Structure formats: structure tokens, C-alpha cells
Structure 1
Amino acid sequence: MHTAHTPASNWQKELQSSARDLRGLIERLQRLHDVTESDIMSTPWAERIAAALKNESQLQSRFRFAVTDSYLLRARLDHDRCAILGQVLPDPTELDDPVFELDDPLAEESHMPVPGLTHRYPDRVLWYLSHNCAVYCRFCMRKRKVSKAGTAPAGDQIAQALAYIREHSELHEVILSGGDPLSHSDATLDEILGALKGIDHIMSVRIHSRMPVTLPARITEELIQVLRRHAPLTLVTHFNHAQELGEDSLEAIRRLRSAGILLLNQSVLLKGINDTQEDLRELFLSLIKNGVKPYYLHQCDEVRGVSQFRVPIERGIELMKGLRGRIPGIALPLYVVDLPGGGGKVPADSSYLRRADAEGYVYENYEGHAYVLAPTYESSHQWTLPLKGADR
């Protein structure tokens, strides 16, 4: 892969100057929002910040902290449901999760024929091109390796992955993920996309990136030229709240659309962030207005250290039901559960759900196998919605 040294661009400079610890976070909030530290410590976030500072060493050892200026600029310090701070501020509950115990609940590693490539479904692979992100979200499903030095795929692993894809003609789609694949240089992306374009049995290439949200400056004219060269491509963004749709992100979206890129969005349903009908309605309508199709609303995965974000599945179903008929159908994503143990994604509210009670949620996957998710009830009641096949 291309490794020649080039001068740092604006996006690389912003990435290099990101806040990497909580003192850096406080300093940037002061500068970006023209407030004092005393002002910050008198906001609804004071207690959370103080608790994070007290436990910072342990929290950083589990999962690194990083946030860009462009993302922090959208923070609302006076709002106790600020979607920006709520997603990036470490929480001591991450250290002793009372519900979720697994680092890899989706069994991605056990479906990995070569390093960095998960082959779970017959016709597609998920390729982890990078374990770096511009911003590290505290609900990350890949905390086990994202942000950790030494876990990113090396050049020989990229060659192995390409060889595997070439050798398996049953594959029709490659999903580039991470971390964030756009953390690579334009030259590296150009090489990888060019190699995939040259494989006849690959019909679809998807890029999953949060950089249009967290580092919009990454969507440069040079990157657009690379993407246009390898069209058709799909780029799946990751907006979780309308607060993230700043003017710089909207400009990044416009640039991607100008290149003919199909834009989809995946969100995660997050407690205290976007778990109201109004939150979701505003997000989905804002996305469709700007040419981004809401694709998936994910149930938060059962990853160690994220249970504080998890919304009960029945609540998610109620939220989506309440939106149907109230916003255009094209603006409604599919609410999905990624089954633990490698069962894959299934619609949360469909006939795949076999039972839901105080013991948990039992889903059947596309192969007919049963998988159990941990219960996340807000009370001890049994959920009694009619379920197809509930007697099985």
C-alpha cells in the first residue's frame, strides 16, 4: 500500500490536534464555546465530568478518548440531553457493567477466515480496514480493538483479505468498516477500491464511515475524485441525532452526493440520546431532506461497558410504531437487532421474535437458529405484545 510522505491536510491537522484526554476536552469546550471552566462545572454535565476525571486512568485503559473540534462545536452545555457530550464523555459505569460481560458478543472474531475479514453471511464480507476513528463513541461495538494500537490490519493482511475475496466467487458484496476506513489516505483507499472493482463477482462495495459526522473536513475534493473513479459505491453514514447535522456535515453530504454516491445512514438507539419519538422524527426527516436514506436503526449491542445506553427493545418497537404514518415511509429505517453469538441481523419487531419475557428476548435468525438477548426491562412486567410463533 502507498506509504509516501505527504504534507498533512486540514483534516489530518484537525485529527492530530483532537482532544485526547478530559483536560483537553475542557480546554476545547472553553475555547469553542467561550466559557470558563467554572461555567462548565456549573452545567448539567458537571457531575459526569467530575466522575470521569476521577476515573480517567482506568477508563482510558479500557477505551481511549478522542474528540474533534468540529464535533465539540455542536455541543450544548446547558442541555442535560446533549447528544454530543452524551456519546463521547466516559462514564465510570463502563468499568463494572452489571449486565453485559462479553467483549465480542457478535462473535465477529470466530467468523474471521483471514485477519480483519468477517465472513458471516454467505454472500458478503465485512472488512475492518482500520481501528482508528476521529471520535471514539462510548457505545462502540468493537471496543475490544478499536482505538487500540497494534490491532489495525497491516499491509500483508490487506493482501490476504483481497486474495480471500478473489478466491470466493460466492461473495457479491464487500463492506469496508473499522474503526473508520476513511482514516486511511486517499492513495490507500484508491488502491483498495481499485482492487475490489477488478473482481468480477463483487457487485457492491459499501463504505461505513462516521467521518461525515465527526470530521467533515475529511470529505475533500481529492477524496471525492477517488470515490467517483470507483463508482458505483454506497457510503453509510452514522448520524444518531439531528444535533450532529451541522453545516459542515451537510456540506460533506452535498459533496458525496455530487459524486453520485448512494448515501444511507445507520443509527443506534441510545438511552438519553435519541430515545424519544421527537428525537428520531427530527433525525430521520433531516436526513431524508438532505438526500440521506435512513437505513438501519440498531438496537445497542450487548458489549461490555455499554449497558447504560441500552433502550428496552419493546420501547424501540413502540417508538418506531409511533412514527409510522407520521413521517414519509422512505424516511423510516428498519429497526434491527444484531443477534449475539454471530446470528446476524433481524428486524426487531417481526416474526423473527419468538418470545419476550423477564428472562430475555428470543429471536430466530435467517437460518432458523434461536438466540437470546439479555432482558432490559424498565420494570419487572412481562411483555405481552402478540408474538408470532410465541409458543415455540
Structure 2
Amino acid sequence: MTPVLPFIKKQIISEQFDDTPEHFQVYTERQLDKIEALAQLSDEQRFEMKVVANVLPFRVNRYVIDNLINWRDIPADPIFQLVFPQKGMLSQDDFEQMAVVLRNTSDRSIILEKANEIRRRLNPHPAEQQSLNVPYIEDAPIEGIQHKYRETVLFFPSQGQVCHSFCSFCFRWAQFIGDKDLRFSNREAQKLHTYLSQHKNISDLLITGGDPMVMKTDHLVAYLEPMLKPEFAHIQTIRIGTKSLSFWPQRYVNDEDAAQLVSLLERMVKAGKHIAIMAHFNHWREMATPLVREAIQRLRAAGVVIRTQSPLLNHINNDPEVWAYMWREQVHQGLVPYYMFVERDTGARRYFEVPLARAWEVYREALQHVSGLGRTARGPSMSTGPGKVEIQGIAQINGEKVFVLRFLQARNPDWVQRPFFAQFDPDATWLDQLQPAFGETKFFFQDEYDAMLNKQISPRAY
């Protein structure tokens, strides 16, 4: 493996840190033509982007455009691929159908009708999110909360159901297309607090979105400060899933309430809560600006732990060199590599997914080039309906080539860490494409999971 050349960073990153507040300027599908840098593309390329952006959500801000993209290397540039629509994100048939509509009408209702037809084919809510993960209070479902694993609750505050920019691979893309039936959100902090106070087995609260860090600090105070009351002593860890360090590090440095935000997190830490920023870094380029380095330093000084995660993505980071360099840089900056995910079976998966065999190869080779502190990253991990399934390796057992798998997390905690085996398939990209090895007809968890799907067993019975 050849090391990443340091001069690459210097080509695109300013080494001067300017702490002058920057105005947040965002572009969506309707402002694509206003992004000056796209003028270098052909008319056909810009039209292709509009076709895709009318189906999958698009949003980018000026910080990303000016600081993270090497405009001399588009469309191959990984951050360009990360935020801008590409033709291959839709099937050829879906692309052509939407292209015909856009060429023949500007009627938004007709365009939206075709877009929604295509979206329904893209598995907008994978892994039974809307059927198995929704908790109840007195037999009434609670909107905006997911409780898939015994110790951890996910909360989707309504004020955080957008991001500073959208990732083109996002598995929560359905949150951003304006369909209320496909969104998770909860405006009422009281319902969250009631649920948590009634379930003492919960130790971790994960605030997610969208991106909770688009919220004003006052909203975060309303959700977080009650966690300091004695009735929430069982909530030991508060995680915040965010892409803000990549897409808007100003949130921690020079936004108008940046100091208030960092102070809130520090206050929670001093009160005994473990505060973890679950930072989404898909490429080392996102960590290279002076502004993100300053944001990281401020969070760490407040006692916040920053853990990092990303899916393995074709066109962006399908390269062990990129992962090894990124993990080394994360350790150098005091971050904890946490997960390498497999691209989920939703949205633009056809463009970004890689075979599971390739995912294992990238993970294994990348780990060979980091120290022990970088080997905290787990994976490759599939966030499936039954749980998080890790590919532990590829082995030859009794003459049969197999994937060695295990649950890192599961709906039934008894499944966790139990190894199981699947027939080797060089083209498989997800668990449902694998078959049990050694002549077995089903995986060990299948009957119990089917019973959960059929409502014969509660997925929250454990």
C-alpha cells in the first residue's frame, strides 16, 4: 500500500484558519444552476444531475463547495460524489422515466408523482424501521423514537430533521423528501423523557436525524438537561449522530451559539454523563481543514468523546489506503474509529454498494496499516433487520468456502457474538443474498426473527 501523498491535501486545503463567522448558504435542487463551480460541466451533465435530484434529496452548502471539493478532479472527486447527484444513482429505466417527465413539463405535481413512484421502489425504510422499532406508551406508538436494541433508544427531534448538506448515499434519505408518512420525528421532549424514565434497562440515548446539530442549542438544552435528574441516572451515555464536523464545523467554533453548545456538552460531562459525538467521516479529506481541527479540539477540551463511522462506498472510499489513512488521522486527532458499515439496501445503493467479499478485503488490508489504537473500528457491519451483522472473515471449512459472520448487536441479545456461516458468494452485497453453509436450510435466528415479523413475539421482549 502506497501512503497518501501529503501534497494532495495542500492542493485543496487552506492552512490559514479564519475565525470570522461565515454565513450559512445552502443550495437545493432548485438552485443547482446557481452553483458557479458547476458551470464547467456540460449541459447534459447538469441535466442528469437535475433528473436524479428530483428523486433523491440534494442539499449542499458553501463550506463544502469551497473547502472540501477538488474542482479540478470532478466528477471523480470523492466529496463531489458524496454530495452531488450522479446519473448512476438511479436505474437506467428510472432515470429515463424521470428525464422524459422533466423534458416535457414543469408542472411540479406531475414531476412529484413520477418521483414518488420511483422512490417507492427504493426501499425507503429498510430493516423494518417502521414496523419493529417503534415503542409504545400505554399501547400508543410514540412517533420519533426507535427502540431496536435493549440498551439503546434512538430519538429523532423534529427540529433536527435536516442536515447541513445531504450525503448522496444516505440511508435516511426518505426523511428529506417531504413525505410525512416516511419521516421519524418527535416534537415533544416529554414523551421521550416519559419513555426513558419507564425503562430502566436503557443506558444509551442516541439523538439522531437528519442531524441534531442543525438545531439551536436551546432545543438541545430542552432535550438533554432533564437527563441530569435522578430519575434518569440509568441513562449513562448520550450519543449525538452528526455529520456537522464534516459539513459545518462552524457549529462548534463561530456559530452565534457555538460557545453555548460546547458549554452544554461540557456541563453534561461534568455531571457524569458520557457524551459521545458519533461523527460521520467518509473520507480523510473531510478532516483536513483548519476549521474542523479547531472544532475537534474544542469538543475534546469539553470532555466529549468523538467516535467515527462510515459505510464503505464505491466511488468515495472503496480503497484500503483511504481507510488506513483516515483511521490514522483520526487517532492522531484524538478520535476513536468505531464502525465500517456496509452500504444499506436502500436509496442509491446500486451506485455505492460493493460485494461483501470486497468489503472484507478493504477492511482487512486497511487494518494491516494502522496501529492497535486504530483497530477499534468494527466491521464490515450490515445493519439488518435482525441486528448488526459483522463479516468476520472468509474461510475454507471442511472443503467449503464460507463467510464467517456474527452479530455485534441484535434484537435478541442472546444472538450477540454467536458465530454463524454463509455460503461464499462473490457477488452478494447484503445478508438477504446469502445462503446458510454446510447444508443448513436457515440461519439460527431465522425462526425467532420471523416470529417477530409476524407479531408472534414482541421484538422488545428481551
Q: TM-score range by the shorter chain?
A: 0.7 to 0.9
Counterpart mapping for 1:112-123 below 5 A? 112-113=134-135, 114-123=142-151
1:334 to 374, 378, 393: 378
How has the CA–CA distance of structure 1 residues 216 and 223 changed in structure 2, closer, same or farther, with 3 Å as cutoff? same
Amino acid at match of 1:227: L
SS of the equivalent of 1:187 reads: helix
Identify the residue that residue 124 of structure 1 maps to in structure 2.
152
TM-superposed deviation, 1:152: 6.0
Partner of 2:427: 377
Measure the CA separation in 1 of the matches of 2:178 and 2:426.
30
Q: Distance in 2 between matches of 1:27 and 1:201?
A: 48
Quote the Cα distance in structure 2 between the aligned partners of 1:85 and 1:376: 29
Alignment RMSD: 3.5
How far apart, CA to CA, are the structure 2 residues paired with 1:97 and 1:119? 37
Once residues 343 and 98 of structure 1 are traced to their aligned partners in structure 2, the CA distance between those partners, rounded to angstroms, is: 32
1:133 alignment partner, SS class: coil
The answer on whether the counterparts of 2:123 and 2:347 sit within 8 Å (CA) in structure 1 is yes
**In structure 1, the residue corresponding to 2:72 is in which secondary structure?**
coil
The answer to whether the Cα contact below 8 Å between 1:274 and 1:280 also exists between their aligned partners in 2 is yes
Residue 244 of structure 1: how far off its partner (Å):
1.1
Give deviations 1:314-369, integer Å, cap 9, x for gaps.
Answer: 111111211233211211311132343x21212222599x9xx99x9896644449
Number of aligned pairs?
353
1-structure distance, mates of 2:304, 2:327: 19
2:343 paired residue among 262, 275, 300 = 300
Q: Report whether the alignment pairs 1:222 with 2:260.
A: yes
Q: Which residue of 1 aligns with 2:307?
A: 264
More helix by share: 2
Counterpart position of 1:75 = 69
Q: How does 1:313-332 map to 2 (within 5 A)?
A: 313-332=356-375
Q: 1:240 to 1:390 in 2, by over 3 A?
A: farther
Instruction: Say if 1:305 and 1:133 are closer, same or farther in 2 by CA, change over 3 A.
Output: same
Q: Which moved more, 1:275-284 or 1:98-107?
A: 98-107
**Counterpart pick for 1:209 among 233, 242, 246:** 242
8 Å CA contact 2:266, 2:302 repeated in 1? yes
State which structure, 1 or 2, has the greater radius of gyration over its C-alpha atoms. 2
Provide the residue aligned with 1:108 in structure 2: 129
The one-letter code matched in structure 1 to 2:285 is Q
Pair 162,322 (structure 1): closer, same or farther in 2 beyond 3 Å? same
CA contact (8 A) 1:213 1:239 kept: yes
SS at match of 1:265: strand
Instruction: Report if the CA contact (8 A) 1:133-1:147 is conserved.
Output: no
Matching residue within 247, 251, 257 for 2:294: 251
Tell me which amino acid in the other structure corresponds to 2:382. D
- Which among 153, 162, 169 is matched to residue 200 of structure 2? 169
TM-score (norm 2): 0.68
Inter-partner Cα distance in structure 2 for 1:389 and 1:376:
14
Does structure 2 retain, via aligned residues, the 8 Å contact 1:103–1:144?
Answer: yes
Letter in 1 for 2:28: R
One-letter code aligned to 1:310: E
Specify every segment of 5 or more residues in structure 1 that has no aligned partner in the other structure, as ranges.
1-8, 31-36
Shift, 1:236, TM fit: 1.1
The residue that corresponds to 2:118 in the other structure is none
Q: Percent identity?
A: 21
Tell me, yes or no, if structure 1 residue 136 matches structure 2 residue 166.
yes
- 1:83·1:241 contact (CA, 8 Å) conserved in 2? yes
Give, in whole Å, the separation in 2 of the partners of 1:328 and 1:50: 46
